[in-house]
Amino acid sequence: MLEIVAYALGVMYTPGPVNLLGLNAGLNGQARASIGFFAGVSLAMLTLFLMFGLAGAAWMRGDLLAVVGAVGCGYILYLAIKVARSTIDLGDVRQPARALRFRDGLIMQLCNPKAMIATFPIATIQFPAAGIHGWSLVLWSFGLAAMAFGAPGSYALMGVVVGQRVGNPRLLRGFSLMMVALLVWVAVSIGYEHVWLPLSTGMETWKGN
């Protein structure tokens, strides 16, 4: 069972679009205001764990993953635009135009193919191997979802520490734009790996038939 926790930590706490947005929220003094965003991410992961754990591999279809991946890429780009257009006011609080919300975290993580790929092996392979099923599967899903809450939350705390040491609004703006560039890069890489490649492979197979 320790392997499940180790795998989940390795997957959830590596840099990704959700964690980058958490970092940006911390840099701009919105860690507390973004708690709803973290909760949305957690609920999305709980949904995926339960869905895959209870329904099994029948939910993981290549064409479905490509469609969800395309929607996820679009939403990541949408949030990147929001971050790019945000303004920073260094009065008492550094605050961009709009804090990330519960809906943002829920939709983004549900439409993130990497989240599906992260939860699928745990729910369909590691859970059965460890004898986790029924109510124990539900309890484990809640525990791992709590870990998912902490991933962007920990990045936000790192952003708070860095942001408190930066008093220049231009530097903070530079950090935000760097986060935007990373989000765009993540969206493009996800789109290429989980949308373009599966669709192009499917087209070649269809032409071959």
> What is the number of domains present in the chain?
1
Nearest partner of 35 among 134, 152, 185, judged by Cα: 152
Full domain range(s) for residue 105: 2-204
Spell out the per-residue pLDDT of the chain, length 209, in tens: 777 888 788 778 877 788 888 988 888 888 999 999 999 999 999 999 998 888 765 555 556 667 767 877 787 787 778 777 765 544 433 444 467 899 999 998 998 877 877 788 788 778 887 888 889 999 999 999 999 999 999 999 988 888 777 656 676 677 667 777 877 887 788 788 777 887 787 666 666 65
122 with 9: CB under 8 angstroms? no
Residue 43 counted as domain residue: yes
Residues 9 and 106: their CA atoms lie apart, in Å, by: 20
170 burial class (0-12, 13-18, 19+ CB within 10 angstroms)? exposed
Count other Cβ atoms within 10 Å, centred on residue 162: 15
Residues 21 and 155: their CA atoms lie apart, in Å, by: 8
Residue 198 counted as domain residue: yes
Residue 106 counted as domain residue: yes
Nearest partner of 109 among 144, 138, 136, 139, judged by Cα: 144
Evaluate if pTM is beyond 0.85: no
> Tokens for 90?
């260094």
CA distances from 186 to 69, 75, 114 (A): 12, 12, 11
pLDDT of residue 208: 62
Provide the 8-state DSSP code for 91: S
19-28: burial string, b at 16+ Cβ within 10 Å, e else: bbbbbbbbbb
Residue 209 counted as domain residue: no
pLDDT of residue 62: 57
Beta strands in 34-131 (DSSP E): none
